[in-house]
Structure 1
Amino acid sequence: MLTAPTSYPRKVLLVFGTRPEAIKMAPLYLELSKHPDEIEVAVCLTAQHREMLDQVIRFFGIPARYDLNLMKPGQNLHNLTAAIIEGMKPVLEDFRPDYVFVHGDTTTSMAAALAAFYSGAKVGHVEAGLRTFNKQSPFPEEMNRSITGRIADIHFAPTQQSRENLLREDIAEQHIVVTGNTVIDALQHGLRLIEEAEPESVRLLKQQLPMHRDVILVTGHRRENFGEGFLSICRALKRIAEHADAEIVYPVHLNPNVQGPVYELLSDVSNIHLIDPQPYESFIWLMNKSRLIITDSGGVQEEAPSLGKPVLVMRDTTERPEAVSAGTVILVGTDENRIVKETLDLLYDTERYDRMARLHNPYGDGKATKRIAQFLLTNHKHEYVS
């Protein structure tokens, strides 16, 4: 038996290293910080990513007590995993947390959870229970989630489906808390910040892009789509641009496997705008202004339905089947003809578009972080079976 502290958990360490994690953990830091008498919360960055991570924490005003600064040229999964485990040891010895919270499916989450387990801290897994049940898709994220799930003491599942996945893996029911997804909390908070004071990046984007027509927002970065997959995606976008009365805006990921085919095939199309990767604040502004979104991103599948934006997902599998079942997203893979057909149908079939835009977002109401904080504040005397 592992017994939780008999007083409130005084120390909670949030560990993250990529932009998506930062987006989804920032509102949790802000919420836990509202309870300084009960919870001492600190942030440790691994900087698995660097510049894009820093943009997010600056926007939300999140201080980092620890920064491992691990990003290196030519980094691979082997040396990154080892570096995170080694780097976490002195952090854990210094802060001595009761709980270490990690998020989702990154190498940071998996390695930091293992390091926390070695230190004797309990592990809370935020966005727990997502599965494709195919360890190669997405790679390595599916196995990162599964390994983290075996280590975690508390599983903050975003949906009932995620909870069911965990129960099927013999996770005890009392260890699972269904919260909704913290990305909705981040989205709502971020849009409020933009409304209060328009960021410079948004002003620059307004000057750069023609916004007088419908906007189709595109993102793509998944490694399983490298090669022929991205060539097919680019051919589809070129055909859509020829037939749609719309502007296609594509923030192009910095990976050469993405930049190569995208710039080769799309740079000379007048109504396709290839722009640099955007800070979080200008990206959510773009999402809010768009007509529909074509993506292979997991986070966008969760965010866009809150804004009433239909999403076409350029993947054959998804660890977020709730959105498919709810009808807020459509899986199109990298099939050129299907991407073109579904995009043009949604643009010109107003009735179908409106039905999809009005559907309920299965990922929550923007109160996930309050539920996590409430768990810590009210369940500290419960016992957990290891």
Structure 2
Amino acid sequence: MSYKYPVYQPSLNGNEKKYVLDCLDSTWISSKGKYITEFENKFAEYINIEHALGASNGTVALHLALLTLGITSEDEVIVPTLTYIASVNAIAYTGATPVFVDSLQDTWQMDYNDVRKKITPKTKAIMAVHLYGHPCDMDELVAICKEYNIFLIEDAAEAFGTYYKGKHAGTFGDISIFSFFGNKTITTGEGGIVVMNDETLYKRALHLRGQGLAQYREYWHDIIGYNYRMTNICAAIGLAQLEQADRFIERKREIAEKYKAELSGLPVVVHQEQQDCTHSYWMVSILVDNLKDRDPLREALKNNGIETRPVFYPVHTMPMYSRYYQKHAVAENIGWRGINLPSYPGLSGTDVESICTEIRKYFESR
């Protein structure tokens, strides 16, 4: 179905075509070429971190991060249940056990008090997911990891442009990842990146990413590695997007503020930015006061050419992860009541007004 207002569409008005055509002209279209290194270096510089390694998508970037830390089937990794499925699947790929925690009502991020309750002798890492562009409480999570001597992984797939106390999300953990799928704040089409400050972790990730190729002998592989590399074409698009990143982030924050103003007084709550945090608003998300309104409201918007998405369903409720009954009340409440609204950089203030008018009409007609 074609929508007048899709939930997201990328802005490709910079040097994307120029750089991609340069790749084609040079014939460097696969996992070698100047744009890969340039994009990795520029991205690391942008978020103020030492090392960045491009990957073919955000999910494999997460898998690579876990492998780099040596996560195995003997380990447990604590993860919020309110997240996209890739966060949990990547843990399962290693054979490790995902241990679910609930969310905080105000930020929607993982509940650090619940994290403490779930730590066992098998806990190897905590995966902090910065959901929808709002950061987790990194002071608490960093302190927990130091206290128990466990790794901190940041899944910042949705958090490019997000800050916690003035510092970029993705720069607190031992290792972190970002996603560049077509609906992310900056995109490479398909792509991801693994970032870290530790030189040893960087070399381990580089080795694993490139099929386990040994540095000292041509075409000799000394570990089982993976082909998780980014292509030169994807990196070229990413570099062009990175050049426009500040404008994209500024525009998305403006759109979020417009939604807040237009939806004031209606029985919905916009996902709010909390103190000491900078919300990048990868998605502008709302909670309807009454969960019975969620699906009818989405249908009404659909009928008026407005695409929406449900907030992620808590992963512990999905068949492959629901073997043992669990209750995570806050995450479930958000998951059942949440809606993601259109929030791409090309959306104008007038467009937001039109979308909010249809939301208002729905509630007035009940």
- The TM-score by the shorter chain falls in which range? 0.3 to 0.5
> So what's the TM-score if we normalise by structure 1?
0.31
- Normalising to structure 2: TM-score of the pair? 0.32
- Which structure has more relative contact order (CA 8 Å, sep 6+)? It is 2
